Protein backbone atom coordinates (compact mmCIF):
# COMPACT_ATOMS: atom_id res chain seq x y z
CA UNK A 1 0.00 0.00 0.00
CA UNK A 2 1.31 3.44 -0.84
CA UNK A 3 0.84 5.73 2.10
CA UNK A 4 2.72 8.70 0.78
CA UNK A 5 0.05 11.21 -0.18
CA UNK A 6 0.26 14.57 -1.75
CA UNK A 7 0.88 17.14 0.92
CA UNK A 8 2.32 14.62 3.33
CA UNK A 9 5.02 16.37 5.24
CA UNK A 10 8.35 14.81 5.83
CA UNK A 11 10.52 15.71 8.73
CA UNK A 12 13.12 18.24 7.83
CA UNK A 13 10.81 20.60 5.99
CA UNK A 14 10.69 22.80 9.07
CA UNK A 15 11.47 25.99 7.18
CA UNK A 16 8.29 25.83 5.13
CA UNK A 17 5.98 25.63 8.13
CA UNK A 18 3.74 28.58 8.73
CA UNK A 19 3.60 29.87 12.28
CA UNK A 20 0.37 29.70 14.29
CA UNK A 21 -1.81 32.78 14.02
CA UNK A 22 -2.20 33.92 17.60
CA UNK A 23 -4.30 37.02 16.95
CA UNK A 24 -6.55 38.58 14.33
CA UNK A 25 -9.47 37.26 12.34
CA UNK A 26 -7.93 33.85 11.50
CA UNK A 27 -7.24 33.20 15.16
CA UNK A 28 -10.83 34.04 16.14
CA UNK A 29 -12.28 31.74 13.45
CA UNK A 30 -9.93 28.96 14.56
CA UNK A 31 -10.92 29.51 18.18
CA UNK A 32 -14.64 29.32 17.41
CA UNK A 33 -14.19 26.21 15.24
CA UNK A 34 -12.22 24.36 17.92
CA UNK A 35 -14.72 25.34 20.61
CA UNK A 36 -17.52 23.88 18.50
CA UNK A 37 -15.52 20.65 17.92
CA UNK A 38 -15.08 20.15 21.68
CA UNK A 39 -18.79 20.78 22.25
CA UNK A 40 -19.59 18.38 19.39
CA UNK A 41 -17.47 15.70 21.05
CA UNK A 42 -19.53 16.02 24.24
CA UNK A 43 -22.82 16.11 22.36
CA UNK A 44 -21.93 12.91 20.51
CA UNK A 45 -21.26 11.18 23.83
CA UNK A 46 -24.66 12.29 25.08
CA UNK A 47 -26.32 10.94 21.93
CA UNK A 48 -24.73 7.53 22.47
CA UNK A 49 -25.91 7.36 26.06
CA UNK A 50 -28.74 9.71 27.04
CA UNK A 51 -29.73 7.80 30.22
CA UNK A 52 -28.03 10.44 32.34
CA UNK A 53 -30.60 12.99 31.24
CA UNK A 54 -33.43 10.87 32.62
CA UNK A 55 -31.81 10.34 35.98
CA UNK A 56 -31.05 14.04 36.20
CA UNK A 57 -34.73 14.84 35.64
CA UNK A 58 -35.74 13.10 38.87
CA UNK A 59 -34.55 15.75 41.29
CA UNK A 60 -36.28 18.79 39.75
CA UNK A 61 -39.43 16.72 39.41
CA UNK A 62 -39.42 16.04 43.14
CA UNK A 63 -38.79 19.69 43.97
CA UNK A 64 -41.63 20.90 41.78
CA UNK A 65 -44.12 18.12 42.50
CA UNK A 66 -43.57 17.68 46.23
CA UNK A 67 -41.88 20.75 47.69
CA UNK A 68 -43.54 23.17 45.26
CA UNK A 69 -47.06 21.85 45.64
CA UNK A 70 -46.90 21.58 49.42
CA UNK A 71 -45.49 25.06 49.92
CA UNK A 72 -47.98 26.51 47.45
CA UNK A 73 -50.80 25.25 49.70
CA UNK A 74 -49.13 26.34 52.92
CA UNK A 75 -48.51 29.87 51.66
CA UNK A 76 -45.58 29.91 54.10
CA UNK A 77 -43.32 32.00 51.89
CA UNK A 78 -44.52 35.50 50.95
CA UNK A 79 -44.30 35.83 47.17
CA UNK A 80 -46.79 38.67 46.65
CA UNK A 81 -49.39 38.11 43.99
CA UNK A 82 -47.48 35.22 42.54
CA UNK A 83 -48.31 31.63 43.46
CA UNK A 84 -45.38 29.87 45.13
CA UNK A 85 -45.11 27.20 42.44
CA UNK A 86 -44.76 29.95 39.83
CA UNK A 87 -42.17 31.69 41.98
CA UNK A 88 -40.02 28.61 42.47
CA UNK A 89 -40.19 27.15 38.92
CA UNK A 90 -37.38 29.38 37.54
CA UNK A 91 -35.41 28.65 40.72
CA UNK A 92 -35.67 24.92 40.13
CA UNK A 93 -34.61 25.32 36.49
CA UNK A 94 -31.58 27.28 37.73
CA UNK A 95 -30.84 24.58 40.31
CA UNK A 96 -30.98 21.96 37.58
CA UNK A 97 -28.39 23.88 35.55
CA UNK A 98 -26.19 24.28 38.61
CA UNK A 99 -26.25 20.57 39.47
CA UNK A 100 -25.56 19.44 35.89
CA UNK A 101 -22.77 21.97 35.43
CA UNK A 102 -21.02 21.31 38.71
CA UNK A 103 -20.58 17.68 37.60
CA UNK A 104 -18.26 18.78 34.79
CA UNK A 105 -15.18 19.14 36.96
CA UNK A 106 -15.26 15.53 38.03
CA UNK A 107 -15.66 14.48 34.40
CA UNK A 108 -12.46 16.36 33.60
CA UNK A 109 -10.58 14.57 36.40
CA UNK A 110 -11.93 11.30 35.07
CA UNK A 111 -10.78 12.16 31.54
CA UNK A 112 -7.40 13.16 32.94
CA UNK A 113 -7.08 9.72 34.52
CA UNK A 114 -7.89 8.19 31.13
CA UNK A 115 -5.30 10.30 29.29
CA UNK A 116 -7.91 12.09 27.16
CA UNK A 117 -7.12 15.53 28.61
CA UNK A 118 -3.39 15.09 27.93
CA UNK A 119 -4.06 14.18 24.31
CA UNK A 120 -6.35 17.18 23.83
CA UNK A 121 -3.78 19.46 25.45
CA UNK A 122 -1.09 18.14 23.09
CA UNK A 123 -3.23 19.04 20.06
CA UNK A 124 -3.11 22.53 18.52
CA UNK A 125 -6.27 23.62 20.33
CA UNK A 126 -6.26 26.86 22.34
CA UNK A 127 -6.70 26.09 26.06
CA UNK A 128 -9.59 28.51 26.33
CA UNK A 129 -11.33 26.73 23.43
CA UNK A 130 -11.05 23.45 25.36
CA UNK A 131 -12.67 25.13 28.36
CA UNK A 132 -15.34 27.03 26.45
CA UNK A 133 -16.17 23.93 24.38
CA UNK A 134 -16.84 21.97 27.56
CA UNK A 135 -18.88 24.90 28.89
CA UNK A 136 -20.95 24.98 25.73
CA UNK A 137 -21.54 21.25 25.99
CA UNK A 138 -22.80 21.72 29.55
CA UNK A 139 -25.24 24.24 28.06
CA UNK A 140 -26.49 21.70 25.53
CA UNK A 141 -27.09 19.20 28.33
CA UNK A 142 -28.97 21.82 30.35
CA UNK A 143 -31.13 22.81 27.37
CA UNK A 144 -32.48 19.28 27.07
CA UNK A 145 -33.40 19.39 30.76
CA UNK A 146 -34.88 22.84 30.20
CA UNK A 147 -37.36 21.35 27.72
CA UNK A 148 -38.34 18.76 30.29
CA UNK A 149 -38.88 21.32 33.05
CA UNK A 150 -40.97 23.50 30.75
CA UNK A 151 -43.17 20.50 30.01
CA UNK A 152 -43.47 19.71 33.71
CA UNK A 153 -44.31 23.34 34.53
CA UNK A 154 -46.97 23.35 31.83
CA UNK A 155 -48.50 20.24 33.41
CA UNK A 156 -48.46 21.86 36.84
CA UNK A 157 -50.18 24.90 35.39
CA UNK A 158 -47.27 27.28 36.05
CA UNK A 159 -48.05 30.56 34.25
CA UNK A 160 -45.36 30.45 31.56
CA UNK A 161 -44.51 33.11 29.02
CA UNK A 162 -44.49 31.62 25.50
CA UNK A 163 -43.33 34.65 23.53
CA UNK A 164 -40.49 33.60 21.18
CA UNK A 165 -38.22 36.40 22.46
CA UNK A 166 -38.82 35.30 26.05
CA UNK A 167 -38.04 31.69 25.13
CA UNK A 168 -34.89 32.75 23.28
CA UNK A 169 -33.90 34.76 26.36
CA UNK A 170 -34.37 31.75 28.66
CA UNK A 171 -32.31 29.63 26.26
CA UNK A 172 -29.51 32.19 26.36
CA UNK A 173 -29.55 32.40 30.15
CA UNK A 174 -29.35 28.60 30.38
CA UNK A 175 -26.37 28.47 28.01
CA UNK A 176 -24.50 31.25 29.80
CA UNK A 177 -25.16 30.01 33.31
CA UNK A 178 -24.30 26.41 32.40
CA UNK A 179 -21.02 27.74 31.00
CA UNK A 180 -20.44 29.77 34.16
CA UNK A 181 -20.95 26.96 36.66
CA UNK A 182 -19.29 24.24 34.58
CA UNK A 183 -16.19 26.44 34.24
CA UNK A 184 -16.25 27.13 37.98
CA UNK A 185 -16.35 23.38 38.49
CA UNK A 186 -13.50 22.86 36.03
CA UNK A 187 -11.38 25.44 37.86
CA UNK A 188 -11.96 23.63 41.15
CA UNK A 189 -10.97 20.35 39.43
CA UNK A 190 -7.73 21.95 38.17
CA UNK A 191 -6.90 23.04 41.71
CA UNK A 192 -7.84 19.95 43.73
CA UNK A 193 -6.88 17.44 40.97
CA UNK A 194 -8.34 14.37 42.71
CA UNK A 195 -11.81 12.89 42.54
CA UNK A 196 -12.17 12.40 46.29
CA UNK A 197 -11.31 15.99 47.13
CA UNK A 198 -13.51 17.27 44.34
CA UNK A 199 -16.54 15.33 45.62
CA UNK A 200 -16.20 17.01 49.00
CA UNK A 201 -15.74 20.48 47.62
CA UNK A 202 -18.48 20.03 45.00
CA UNK A 203 -20.95 19.20 47.76
CA UNK A 204 -19.61 22.04 49.84
CA UNK A 205 -20.35 24.69 47.22
CA UNK A 206 -23.51 23.56 45.44
CA UNK A 207 -25.88 23.65 48.40
CA UNK A 208 -24.64 27.03 49.73
CA UNK A 209 -24.89 28.50 46.21
CA UNK A 210 -28.46 27.27 46.01
CA UNK A 211 -29.58 28.34 49.47
CA UNK A 212 -27.93 31.76 49.40
CA UNK A 213 -29.76 32.63 46.18
CA UNK A 214 -33.31 33.78 45.53
CA UNK A 215 -34.18 30.41 43.94
CA UNK A 216 -36.80 29.20 46.43
CA UNK A 217 -37.47 32.27 48.60
CA UNK A 218 -37.39 36.00 47.93
CA UNK A 219 -34.40 38.04 49.05
CA UNK A 220 -36.69 40.37 51.01
CA UNK A 221 -37.28 37.77 53.74
CA UNK A 222 -33.56 37.02 54.17
CA UNK A 223 -31.56 38.30 57.15
CA UNK A 224 -29.06 41.00 56.21
CA UNK A 225 -25.95 38.81 56.17
CA UNK A 226 -27.69 36.43 53.77
CA UNK A 227 -28.76 39.33 51.58
CA UNK A 228 -25.10 40.29 51.16
CA UNK A 229 -24.17 36.71 50.18
CA UNK A 230 -27.12 36.54 47.84
CA UNK A 231 -25.95 39.66 46.01
CA UNK A 232 -22.54 38.20 45.23
CA UNK A 233 -24.00 34.85 44.18
CA UNK A 234 -24.28 34.58 40.36
CA UNK A 235 -27.18 32.14 40.76
CA UNK A 236 -29.29 35.04 42.07
CA UNK A 237 -28.91 36.92 38.78
CA UNK A 238 -29.59 33.80 36.77
CA UNK A 239 -32.84 33.18 38.70
CA UNK A 240 -33.77 36.86 38.45
CA UNK A 241 -33.40 36.81 34.64
CA UNK A 242 -35.25 33.50 34.35
CA UNK A 243 -38.11 34.77 36.54
CA UNK A 244 -38.54 37.79 34.27
CA UNK A 245 -38.50 35.84 31.02
CA UNK A 246 -40.07 32.54 32.00
CA UNK A 247 -43.20 33.67 33.84
CA UNK A 248 -46.22 35.50 32.49
CA UNK A 249 -46.22 38.74 34.48
CA UNK A 250 -42.70 38.06 35.81
CA UNK A 251 -40.39 40.99 36.40
CA UNK A 252 -36.68 41.35 36.98
CA UNK A 253 -35.61 42.85 40.28
CA UNK A 254 -32.18 43.98 39.09
CA UNK A 255 -32.96 44.61 35.40
CA UNK A 256 -32.17 42.17 32.60
CA UNK A 257 -29.19 44.21 31.43
CA UNK A 258 -27.43 43.88 34.78
CA UNK A 259 -28.42 40.23 35.04
CA UNK A 260 -26.92 39.41 31.63
CA UNK A 261 -23.98 41.75 32.19
CA UNK A 262 -23.03 40.07 35.46
CA UNK A 263 -23.49 36.53 34.10
CA UNK A 264 -21.49 37.22 30.93
CA UNK A 265 -18.71 39.04 32.77
CA UNK A 266 -18.38 36.28 35.38
CA UNK A 267 -18.35 33.58 32.67
CA UNK A 268 -15.69 35.38 30.60
CA UNK A 269 -13.50 35.82 33.64
CA UNK A 270 -13.85 32.18 34.64
CA UNK A 271 -13.17 30.87 31.10
CA UNK A 272 -9.95 32.89 30.91
CA UNK A 273 -8.92 31.68 34.37
CA UNK A 274 -9.93 28.12 33.43
CA UNK A 275 -7.87 28.24 30.20
CA UNK A 276 -4.88 29.29 32.24
CA UNK A 277 -5.36 26.60 34.88
CA UNK A 278 -6.45 23.76 32.58
CA UNK A 279 -2.98 22.35 31.83
CA UNK A 280 -2.44 21.99 35.60
CA UNK A 281 -4.96 19.18 35.78
CA UNK A 282 -2.70 17.03 33.56
CA UNK A 283 0.49 17.51 35.55
CA UNK B 1 20.05 22.57 11.24
CA UNK B 2 16.85 21.06 9.95
CA UNK B 3 18.29 17.57 10.36
CA UNK B 4 17.82 17.83 14.13
CA UNK B 5 14.11 17.74 15.09
CA UNK B 6 14.44 17.72 18.86
CA UNK B 7 17.12 19.68 20.59
CA UNK B 8 17.25 20.39 24.32
CA UNK B 9 19.76 22.61 26.08
CA UNK B 10 20.15 22.27 29.84
CA UNK B 11 16.45 21.48 30.09
CA UNK B 12 15.42 21.34 33.74
CA UNK B 13 12.17 20.76 35.56
CA UNK B 14 11.78 20.90 39.32
CA UNK B 15 8.76 20.01 41.43
CA UNK B 16 9.44 21.78 44.69
CA UNK B 17 12.69 20.39 46.03
CA UNK B 18 12.68 17.47 43.59
CA UNK B 19 14.54 17.87 40.31
CA UNK B 20 12.68 15.55 37.94
CA UNK B 21 14.74 16.46 34.87
CA UNK B 22 18.19 17.82 35.54
CA UNK B 23 19.94 20.05 32.97
CA UNK B 24 19.30 17.70 30.11
CA UNK B 25 20.90 18.16 26.70
CA UNK B 26 19.99 15.76 23.90
CA UNK B 27 19.47 15.85 20.14
CA UNK B 28 17.19 13.68 18.06
CA UNK B 29 17.68 13.43 14.30
CA UNK B 30 14.91 13.47 11.72
CA UNK B 31 13.56 10.05 10.84
CA UNK B 32 15.13 8.08 13.67
CA UNK B 33 13.45 5.94 16.30
CA UNK B 34 14.68 7.30 19.60
CA UNK B 35 14.02 5.32 22.76
CA UNK B 36 14.04 6.72 26.25
CA UNK B 37 14.78 4.06 28.84
CA UNK B 38 14.94 4.31 32.58
CA UNK B 39 13.41 3.06 35.79
CA UNK B 40 10.13 4.49 37.07
CA UNK B 41 10.61 7.99 38.38
CA UNK B 42 13.69 8.61 36.24
CA UNK B 43 12.08 11.66 34.64
CA UNK B 44 11.03 10.13 31.31
CA UNK B 45 7.40 11.25 31.49
CA UNK B 46 8.36 14.71 32.71
CA UNK B 47 10.72 15.08 29.74
CA UNK B 48 8.02 13.99 27.27
CA UNK B 49 5.50 16.34 28.89
CA UNK B 50 7.88 19.25 28.44
CA UNK B 51 8.61 18.35 24.82
CA UNK B 52 4.91 18.13 23.95
CA UNK B 53 4.33 21.47 25.74
CA UNK B 54 2.14 20.12 28.54
CA UNK B 55 4.60 21.24 31.17
CA UNK B 56 6.73 24.39 31.07
CA UNK B 57 10.42 23.86 31.91
CA UNK B 58 11.83 25.42 35.07
CA UNK B 59 14.95 26.44 33.15
CA UNK B 60 16.81 25.58 29.97
CA UNK B 61 15.54 25.42 26.42
CA UNK B 62 14.18 22.98 23.91
CA UNK B 63 13.28 23.21 20.26
CA UNK B 64 10.89 20.74 18.70
CA UNK B 65 10.50 20.82 14.89
CA UNK B 66 12.40 24.08 14.96
CA UNK B 67 10.03 25.80 17.39
CA UNK B 68 10.78 26.84 20.94
CA UNK B 69 8.60 24.81 23.34
CA UNK B 70 7.99 27.75 25.64
CA UNK B 71 7.52 30.57 23.15
CA UNK B 72 5.87 28.78 20.22
CA UNK B 73 4.05 25.96 21.98
CA UNK B 74 1.08 26.14 19.63
CA UNK B 75 3.37 25.65 16.61
CA UNK B 76 5.06 22.70 18.27
CA UNK B 77 1.68 21.06 18.87
CA UNK B 78 0.74 21.29 15.20
CA UNK B 79 3.67 19.17 14.11
CA UNK B 80 3.72 16.46 16.72
CA UNK B 81 1.51 13.53 17.62
CA UNK B 82 1.23 12.14 21.13
CA UNK B 83 0.05 8.77 22.37
CA UNK B 84 -0.15 8.76 26.18
CA UNK B 85 0.67 5.68 28.22
CA UNK B 86 -2.96 5.32 29.28
CA UNK B 87 -5.51 4.00 26.83
CA UNK B 88 -6.85 7.40 25.98
CA UNK B 89 -9.31 6.88 23.13
CA UNK B 90 -12.78 7.90 24.22
CA UNK B 91 -14.74 4.76 25.06
CA UNK B 92 -18.13 6.42 24.76
CA UNK B 93 -17.55 7.34 21.10
CA UNK B 94 -17.10 5.11 18.06
CA UNK B 95 -13.69 4.57 16.48
CA UNK B 96 -14.73 6.74 13.55
CA UNK B 97 -15.88 9.56 15.82
CA UNK B 98 -12.63 9.46 17.78
CA UNK B 99 -10.77 9.97 14.50
CA UNK B 100 -13.19 12.60 13.20
CA UNK B 101 -12.83 14.80 16.28
CA UNK B 102 -9.05 14.71 16.09
CA UNK B 103 -9.09 15.33 12.34
CA UNK B 104 -11.00 18.52 13.10
CA UNK B 105 -8.78 19.52 16.01
CA UNK B 106 -5.69 19.09 13.82
CA UNK B 107 -7.16 21.33 11.09
CA UNK B 108 -7.29 18.65 8.39
CA UNK B 109 -9.28 20.26 5.56
CA UNK B 110 -12.86 19.04 5.27
CA UNK B 111 -12.21 17.72 1.72
CA UNK B 112 -9.43 15.42 2.96
CA UNK B 113 -10.95 14.24 6.25
CA UNK B 114 -13.02 11.31 4.99
CA UNK B 115 -10.16 9.93 2.88
CA UNK B 116 -7.56 10.27 5.64
CA UNK B 117 -9.83 8.57 8.15
CA UNK B 118 -10.56 5.77 5.67
CA UNK B 119 -6.86 5.20 4.99
CA UNK B 120 -6.08 5.27 8.71
CA UNK B 121 -8.84 2.80 9.57
CA UNK B 122 -7.65 0.42 6.84
CA UNK B 123 -4.03 0.71 7.84
CA UNK B 124 -4.84 -0.02 11.47
CA UNK B 125 -7.14 -2.90 10.55
CA UNK B 126 -10.10 -1.18 12.18
CA UNK B 127 -12.34 -0.59 9.17
CA UNK B 128 -14.88 -3.20 10.29
CA UNK B 129 -15.03 -1.88 13.85
CA UNK B 130 -15.19 1.80 12.88
CA UNK B 131 -18.81 2.26 13.90
CA UNK B 132 -18.60 0.33 17.15
CA UNK B 133 -18.15 2.07 20.49
CA UNK B 134 -14.49 2.05 21.52
CA UNK B 135 -15.36 0.58 24.92
CA UNK B 136 -16.05 -2.69 23.10
CA UNK B 137 -12.51 -2.73 21.56
CA UNK B 138 -9.64 -4.88 22.76
CA UNK B 139 -6.49 -3.25 24.20
CA UNK B 140 -4.58 -3.76 20.96
CA UNK B 141 -7.38 -2.22 18.89
CA UNK B 142 -7.54 0.83 21.16
CA UNK B 143 -3.78 1.29 20.91
CA UNK B 144 -3.94 1.12 17.12
CA UNK B 145 -6.83 3.60 17.11
CA UNK B 146 -4.82 5.97 19.27
CA UNK B 147 -1.86 5.80 16.96
CA UNK B 148 -4.24 6.53 14.08
CA UNK B 149 -5.65 9.52 16.01
CA UNK B 150 -2.21 10.91 16.63
CA UNK B 151 -0.92 10.45 13.09
CA UNK B 152 -3.92 11.63 11.01
CA UNK B 153 -2.21 14.98 10.48
CA UNK B 154 1.07 13.31 9.45
CA UNK B 155 3.13 14.66 12.31
CA UNK B 156 6.88 15.19 11.93
CA UNK B 157 7.43 13.58 15.33
CA UNK B 158 5.32 10.98 17.09
CA UNK B 159 5.73 10.78 20.88
CA UNK B 160 4.74 7.45 22.39
CA UNK B 161 4.74 6.88 26.13
CA UNK B 162 5.16 3.13 26.66
CA UNK B 163 3.13 2.20 23.56
CA UNK B 164 3.20 -1.55 24.11
CA UNK B 165 2.61 -1.72 27.85
CA UNK B 166 -0.17 -4.17 28.75
CA UNK B 167 -0.47 -5.59 25.23
CA UNK B 168 -0.24 -9.27 24.33
CA UNK B 169 2.66 -10.34 22.07
CA UNK B 170 0.57 -10.30 18.90
CA UNK B 171 -0.80 -6.81 19.55
CA UNK B 172 2.67 -5.63 20.52
CA UNK B 173 4.13 -6.89 17.28
CA UNK B 174 1.36 -5.16 15.32
CA UNK B 175 2.08 -1.86 17.06
CA UNK B 176 5.76 -2.11 16.24
CA UNK B 177 5.03 -2.89 12.60
CA UNK B 178 2.86 0.23 12.47
CA UNK B 179 5.53 2.39 14.02
CA UNK B 180 8.09 1.06 11.55
CA UNK B 181 5.71 1.74 8.69
CA UNK B 182 5.10 5.33 9.77
CA UNK B 183 8.81 5.85 9.78
CA UNK B 184 9.50 4.34 6.37
CA UNK B 185 6.44 5.77 4.59
CA UNK B 186 6.27 9.23 6.12
CA UNK B 187 9.74 9.70 7.55
CA UNK B 188 8.10 10.28 10.94
CA UNK B 189 10.57 10.63 13.77
CA UNK B 190 9.58 8.37 16.66
CA UNK B 191 10.32 9.37 20.25
CA UNK B 192 9.24 6.72 22.73
CA UNK B 193 9.67 5.39 26.21
CA UNK B 194 9.59 1.70 26.97
CA UNK B 195 10.39 -0.81 29.67
CA UNK B 196 10.91 -3.63 27.18
CA UNK B 197 14.61 -3.83 26.49
CA UNK B 198 14.38 -6.36 23.68
CA UNK B 199 11.98 -4.02 21.86
CA UNK B 200 14.24 -1.05 22.33
CA UNK B 201 17.14 -3.15 21.11
CA UNK B 202 15.51 -4.27 17.90
CA UNK B 203 13.50 -1.15 17.05
CA UNK B 204 15.41 1.93 18.20
CA UNK B 205 18.21 3.52 16.21
CA UNK B 206 19.40 5.20 19.38
CA UNK B 207 18.44 5.00 23.02
CA UNK B 208 19.04 7.31 25.97
CA UNK B 209 19.17 5.87 29.45
CA UNK B 210 17.75 8.16 32.09
CA UNK B 211 18.25 7.91 35.80
CA UNK B 212 17.28 10.37 38.52
CA UNK B 213 16.60 13.14 36.02
CA UNK B 214 19.88 12.73 34.12
CA UNK B 215 20.70 11.07 30.84
CA UNK B 216 23.46 8.70 31.85
CA UNK B 217 24.24 7.44 28.35
CA UNK B 218 23.06 7.86 24.77
CA UNK B 219 23.88 5.83 21.73
CA UNK B 220 22.95 3.04 19.35
CA UNK B 221 21.97 -0.11 21.26
CA UNK B 222 24.93 -1.97 19.74
CA UNK B 223 27.39 0.72 20.85
CA UNK B 224 25.97 0.77 24.36
CA UNK B 225 26.25 -2.98 24.61
CA UNK B 226 29.81 -2.86 23.29
CA UNK B 227 30.66 -0.25 25.90
CA UNK B 228 30.19 -2.83 28.61
CA UNK B 229 33.07 -4.81 27.17
CA UNK B 230 31.14 -8.07 27.27
CA UNK B 231 30.28 -9.47 23.86
CA UNK B 232 27.23 -11.29 25.21
CA UNK B 233 25.84 -8.19 26.92
CA UNK B 234 22.17 -7.43 26.29
CA UNK B 235 20.43 -4.09 26.55
CA UNK B 236 19.10 -5.36 29.88
CA UNK B 237 22.67 -5.44 31.12
CA UNK B 238 23.26 -1.96 29.80
CA UNK B 239 20.13 -0.76 31.57
CA UNK B 240 21.09 -2.31 34.87
CA UNK B 241 24.64 -1.05 34.49
CA UNK B 242 23.65 2.57 33.96
CA UNK B 243 20.37 2.84 35.81
CA UNK B 244 21.34 0.63 38.72
CA UNK B 245 18.87 -1.29 40.78
CA UNK B 246 15.70 0.72 40.82
CA UNK B 247 14.84 -0.69 44.24
CA UNK B 248 17.80 1.20 45.65
CA UNK B 249 17.19 4.66 46.96
CA UNK B 250 18.26 7.50 44.69
CA UNK B 251 21.36 8.39 46.69
CA UNK B 252 23.01 5.07 46.18
CA UNK B 253 22.94 5.21 42.41
CA UNK B 254 26.50 6.36 42.01
CA UNK B 255 27.69 3.70 44.43
CA UNK B 256 25.77 0.99 42.64
CA UNK B 257 27.01 2.13 39.29
CA UNK B 258 30.57 2.24 40.51
CA UNK B 259 30.30 -1.16 42.13
CA UNK B 260 28.90 -2.67 38.99
CA UNK B 261 31.53 -1.12 36.81
CA UNK B 262 34.15 -2.55 39.10
CA UNK B 263 32.51 -5.94 39.04
CA UNK B 264 32.45 -5.78 35.27
CA UNK B 265 36.13 -5.13 35.09
CA UNK B 266 36.87 -7.87 37.49
CA UNK B 267 34.57 -10.24 35.62
CATH class of the domain comprising B4-83+158-266: alpha beta
Residue extents of the structural domains in chain A: 2-282
B106: nearest CB among A13, A113, A123 = A123
Residue extents of the structural domains in chain B: 4-83+158-266
Q: How many CB pairs under 8 A join A and B?
A: 133
3-state DSSP assignment of residue A86: helix
- Dump the DSSP string for chain B: -TTEEEEEEEEEEEETTEEEEEEE--EEETT-EEEEE--TTSSHHHHHHHHTTSS--SEEEEEETTEETTTSHHHHHHTEEEE-SS--S-TTSBHHHHHHHHHHHTT--HHHHHHHHHHHHHHTT-GGGTTSBGGGS-HHHHHHHHHHHHHTT--SEEEEESTTTT--HHHHHHHHHHHHHHHHHH--EEEEE-S-HHHHHHH-SEEEEEETTEEEEEE-HHHHHHHTT-TT--HHHHHHHHH--TTS-GGGHHHHHHHHHHHHHH-
Residue A254: DSSP 8-state:
S
pTM: 0.84
Interface contact flag, B104 A33, Cβ < 8 Å: yes
Interface contact flag, B66 A45, Cβ < 8 Å: no
A22: nearest CB among B2, B74, B156 = B74
Interface contact flag, A41 B101, Cβ < 8 Å: yes
Task: Collect all residues of chain B within an 8 Å Cβ-Cβ radius of residue A282.
Answer: 49, 54
Contact status of A118 with chain B (Cβ, < 8 Å): yes
ipTM over 0.90: no
Task: Collect all residues of chain B within an 8 Å Cβ-Cβ radius of residue A9.
Answer: 79, 154, 156, 186
E-only strand ranges, A94-183? none
Please check the confidence at residue B107 and state whether its pLDDT lies above 70: yes
Chain A interface mutation, best of B28, B103, B104, highest count of A Cβ atoms under 10 Å: B104
pLDDT in tens, chain A (283 residues): 334 443 333 333 333 455 566 668 888 998 999 999 999 998 999 899 888 888 888 989 999 888 888 888 877 778 877 888 999 999 999 999 999 998 888 989 998 888 899 999 999 999 999 999 999 999 998 998 999 999 999 999 999 999 999 999 999 999 999 999 999 999 999 999 888 899 888 888 899 999 999 998 998 889 999 999 999 999 999 999 999 999 998 889 999 999 999 999 999 999 999 999 998 888 7
A37: nearest CB among B31, B92, B105 = B105
Contact status of A255 with chain B (Cβ, < 8 Å): no
Residue A22 is predicted with a pLDDT of 62
Query: pLDDT tens-digit profile of B203-254?
Result: 899 999 998 889 988 999 989 888 888 778 888 888 888 877 655 444 335 4
Task: Collect all residues of chain A within an 8 Å Cβ-Cβ radius of residue B112.
Answer: 7
What Rg value do the Cα atoms of chain A yield, rounded? 21
Interface contact flag, B93 A126, Cβ < 8 Å: no
How far A90 CA sits from the closest chain B CA (Å)?
33
Interface contact flag, A3 B66, Cβ < 8 Å: no
- Dump the DSSP string for B53-75: TSS--SEEEEEETTEETTTSHHH
Task: Collect all residues of chain A within an 8 Å Cβ-Cβ radius of residue B82.
Answer: 118-119, 122
Minimum mean pLDDT range among A159-163, A199-203, B54-58, B102-106? A199-203
Amino acid sequence: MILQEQGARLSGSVETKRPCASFGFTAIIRFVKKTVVIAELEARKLLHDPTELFTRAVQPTLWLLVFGQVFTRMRAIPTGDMRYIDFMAPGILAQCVLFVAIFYGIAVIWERDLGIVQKLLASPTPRTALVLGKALAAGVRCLTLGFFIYALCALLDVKLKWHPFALAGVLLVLLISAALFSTLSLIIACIVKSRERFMGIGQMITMPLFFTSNAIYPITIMPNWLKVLSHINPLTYQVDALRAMMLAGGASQYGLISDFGILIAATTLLVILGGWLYPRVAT
Amino acid sequence: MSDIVIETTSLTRCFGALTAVNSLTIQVKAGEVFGLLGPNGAGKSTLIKMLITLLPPTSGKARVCGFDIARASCDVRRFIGYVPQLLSADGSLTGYENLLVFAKLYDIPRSERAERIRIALNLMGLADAADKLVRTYSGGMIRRLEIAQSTLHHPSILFLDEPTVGLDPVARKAVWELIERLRTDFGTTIFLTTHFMEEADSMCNRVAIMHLGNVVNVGAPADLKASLGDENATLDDVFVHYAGNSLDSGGTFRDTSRTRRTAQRLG
